[in-house]
Amino acid sequence: MGISGEPEVKGMIREWFERVWNQLDLTAVDELMHAQGEILGLGNTVVGRSGFKEVHHSFTASFDQIHVEVVDLVAEGNEVAGHSRFAARHRQSGREVDFMFSFHGLYEDGFLRKVRNVLDYTSLMAQLNLLEPERMQMIFDAPDR
């Protein structure tokens, strides 16, 4: 792909987030993801379109009003990386969540072949009130000397 492919992969990843997450259009998974695509960082490694759709269903069953904003992107050849913001409402608690995540994607033959996500799960858990502040503080407390 070379340098000329950089705007193309940026457009493809923007389309992925817009259609798959903001529009909840699962037909986009079949159109944009490689049949043996791998997604890492959303729990267990997900392989294939049906595996990703299961993870997507788990997210949409747990959250509504989902919006993913691509904050920045860099691309080289058939690779793209960036930061995005995930905002949604947790269905069970009614709490609003908003956290950043990073990703690196690899395209092959025009399809998303592999994505590594790094999510700020600590922020998500804190926003859902699932962390005990006292226990978190223990990590940073120096032992008495």
pLDDT of residue 42: 85
- pTM of the predicted protein model: 0.86
Domains, in order of start, for the chain: 3-119 (3.10.450.50)
In terms of Cβ atoms closer than 10 Å to its own Cβ (0-12, 13-18, 19+), residue 68 is middle
* pLDDT tens digit sequence for 3-55: 445 689 999 999 999 999 999 999 999 999 999 999 999 888 999 999 999 99
Residue 57, exposed/middle/buried by CB under 10 A (0-12, 13-18, 19+)? exposed
pLDDT (tens digit, 9 = 90+) per residue, 69-88?
Answer: 999 999 999 999 999 999 99
Residue 138 has pLDDT above 80, yes or no: no
